[in-house]
Chains A and B, each alone.
Chain A
Amino acid sequence: MRFMPDKMIDEDLAEYGMKMAESADYAEIRLENVRGTYVTLSNSEIEGTSISESLGFSVRVMADGAMGFYSTNVVSREEIKKAVERAIKMASLQRRKGRIGLSDEKAWEDRWEVKEKEKTPGMEDIIDYLRSLDDTAKDGTLSRVFFYGGERTEKYYANTDGAHIHSVVPRHSLYYLITVGEGGKTEQMNREFGNAGGWEFVSKWKAGEKLSEDIKFLKKLLTEGKKPPEGTLDVVIGPYITGLIAHESCGHPFEADRIMGREAAQAGKSFINESMLGNAIGSECISVVDDPTIPNSYGYYKYDDEGVKAGKRYLIKNGVINEFLHNRETAFHFGRNSNAAARASAYDREPIVRMANTYIQPGDFSLEELIEGVERGVYMATFMEWNIDDRRYNQKYVGEEAYYIEKGELRHVVRHPALEITTPSFYSSVDAVGKELEFYPATCGKGEPMQGVPVFTGGGAVRLRNVRVR
């Protein structure tokens, strides 16, 4: 359903805005229309169904060496003129000592779209889908909650350098949290599914199968789970967790805005600094990649929200710090070019440095081979609790699906082994990387106001030698 007229994005208005902004050193405009459908199902009951449609724009300018931003959801020539004037005023009031700059980038003109093979069905079918998942889970769980979201984002971006880019990206996502109980104790598992693309991906998620496996495992954990071994041992970590680690302890500290302190008050800074480019941070078998251009990935984009064309980025290459994530502001600051990491979660948010799809590049080993090489250790397949400090140095991952390894074989289920480790120790302790590349969707939070952006995390499994677990 649509509340608004068919022609949502009026590109002439954007061009008018750029003409109005001629007095600024630089200006850009993003017009966005998002149509969303959301359903919440909790314990067999449809708790909420909602439909939303938004249309709005923002203008960001550089004037007097400073940056100003204005956004509204009233879209008209008058408002665009006002937005440009206000953004210039917001910049000129600042009277900075040092001037902010933007790197010089090619101005692209393009129209791109992520195609849908299957259109989003009606609300009835979406609810039927969630009910089928609930049916799968209701006998084996104490409680379960499902959130589905489907969005179609149409965007038009223009800047005074001459970029003009129109895009359409549909996305579907699903989240579930289940609770399984036994003997007065409970265990929980949550999972997220998501892709850029059409409804055809929903069946590819095989969420029902995952749900059944999770329930079965949680029951086993409750009835057979043993205390994890403590002390120095080897740990094999599956892609569900290695992706998270790549995101948290490589992607985030390699964000150049953190490195230059722009997010210091909220998301924090980084233990990495510019002088560390080219330094070894881990084993030679470790490479970490961030790639926005993986087709149909949850974090897919062809151009970033500053109009820069996206490509694959090697953050760590063969154990060496290779590249940071940049937008045009950080690229100017560091004297290089942007690598298209500017993303804004909505029309009313400024583009800041973000990841897209971050993963540990797969190696040569099967999961069985990684486990076979362990005399005494733990295999962690999934997690619930994790965190990392705001310099991205000290981190903790607590296994949910986890097993004790003895003499190269999985022996029994263990309860909540915790790996607390520093970033350099983690990457230096890896001696082998799995060859199976798996991706998992997530929503990455950063910025104020908060900007949640869709990403993939992933990788091959890894094996760590001689780390402490408890």
Chain B
Amino acid sequence: MMIQYAVEMAEKAGMDDSIAKIVRRKEKQVKFHRSEISIVKEWESTTLEIFMAKGKKVLTLEIENPDREKIRKAIKDGKGIVEILADKEHYYGIGENDGEYVDKKMYDERVDDEKKLLSLANRTIDDAIKQSEEVAGIIYAGKEEIELATSRGMNEGDRNSWLSLSVRAFSSEKASGHSVRCARTFPSLKKDAGNEAGKIAAMASSHPKKIERGKYDVIFSHLSFANLISYMADFASAFYVDSGMSFLSGKIGKEIGSEKLSVTDSGINPEGIASRKFDDEGIATGETPIIHKGKLESYLHNTSTAHKHGTRTTGNAGIISPSPWNEVVKPGDISLEEMIEGVKKGLYITNVWYTRFQNYMEGDFSTIARDGAFLIENGDISHPVEGIRVSDSMPRILKNVEMLSNDIRQIYWWEVEVPVFTPHALVKNVNITKSFL
């Protein structure tokens, strides 16, 4: 096997540690706009990553469509580079797996059947256009086989499949609705996104109202709260923490959120589209509570960052930067309708985009509402609102989480790059701004 050959060659080259990971991936995409298919794409790729370390000198090599000759040459040249590198002070070797590999992930060999994907696209367009004027969206499906071998004797395989459907319906130039569904198998994907996007678009076009800048109680939808949690998950990476790119720095054991808020990183969720059997060191993935009842419990670690922080790896390697798998926000016990009923004056924001930070350490940021934002008055959705922006800070938002709904949905799309299972969230006193002119 290619990966074992790579590890053997690295050992022969005098490396103390080595990891070889090969990924064979097949993906398809159906893109549509103006209520018709725009393009259908297909990809096939085979990529090999080799990590090699001598002492504390580390190097990563990436080779596409590998063969033995390429591997032999890459390792020979890589050896020359490793020898001249400076030490990575906080490199502490690659971990040895002492956990059990849990693999209850759903898998669908036919997840990328192009006829099914096209049929789903057409159905979604038909559903959405009933309540709107124009529909655009994307269906993205893929499957992969991963093999990983390490100089610690690990040699394992994994396979994954995933599917995401993102659809946006427009009822006018300014009014739109967006819906996202994702799953690991085609049969388990809910096919109602077109209906949902069309419904929001229709609501968004009805008598929009201008509102003043100020503090509002905001109900964040699945899409919008997932966006914020996905950033939070990236900030939980120990690499981000150590590099001054995280407001979670120095907060382990401290209250960083409302006691209603618990967020767990899960690499083993059977339905999580980023679930994996093992991380890039071969360590079994698991579940890591990041926030438990508002308290910051853990960062996400690989072996070296864990050693540096005096803890154990969480099975989230990335060799350089630990990375999140799927985030799961613990749901509450009320429905969205009950949540809305409890708001006297507030906003329901169905989607956000363009989240940007003024200061990653402080967590100051803003993000723009899109695809239907609604004013809530005395427990009822009264009017759509336009042109608003959440201008606040992550620590304040997390601390002001007042309620979480009982409906949880997995979100993964263009603006949510880490899959998040989330309920709706009611956040008190959110600062809302808008353009003056």
Contact = CB atoms under 8 A, between A and B. Distances in A.
Given A40-B320, A70-B41, A396 B433 contact: yes
Contacts of B162: none
Contacts of A390: 353-354, 368, 370
Contact of A51 (B78, B88, B178, B245): B78
Interface string B27-62: 001011110111111111111000000000011111
Interface stretch (B262-270, B286-294, B359-367): B359-367
A153 interface: no
B244 A142 contact: yes
B243 A261 contact: no
A387 B355 contact: yes
Given A51-B62, A143-B244, A188-B244, A72 B44 contact: yes
Nearest to B166: A265
- Contact size range, B: 35 or more
A387 B366 contact: yes
A188 B361 contact: yes
Nearest to B415: A266
A142 B245 CA distance: 11
A429 B435 CA distance: 14
B34 A261 contact: yes
Interface stretch (A21-29, A92-100, A299-307): A92-100
Contacts of A127: 85-86
B251 interface: no
Interface stretch (B95-103, B134-142, B222-230): B134-142
A387 B368 contact: yes
Chain B at the A interface: SS class: strand
Contacts of A90: 39-42, 114
Given A50-B61, A66-B37, A395 B42 contact: no
A401 B387 CA distance: 27
Nearest to A348: B43
Interface stretch (A10-18, A112-120, A416-424): A416-424
Contacts of A97: 36
Nearest to B37: A94
Contacts of B33: 260-265
A400 B168 CA distance: 35
A218 B79 CA distance: 41
Interface stretch (B8-16, B63-71, B376-384): B63-71
A389 B370 contact: yes
Given A47-B239, A50-B60, A3 B90 contact: no
A294 interface: no
A393 B435 CA distance: 9
B45 A56 contact: yes
B196 to A, nearest CB: 14
A135 B39 CA distance: 50
B333 interface: no
Given A51-B81, A177-B245, A420-B434, A387 B58 contact: no
- Counting chain B CB atoms within 10 Å of each CB, the highest count among A74, A388, A393, A394 belongs to A394
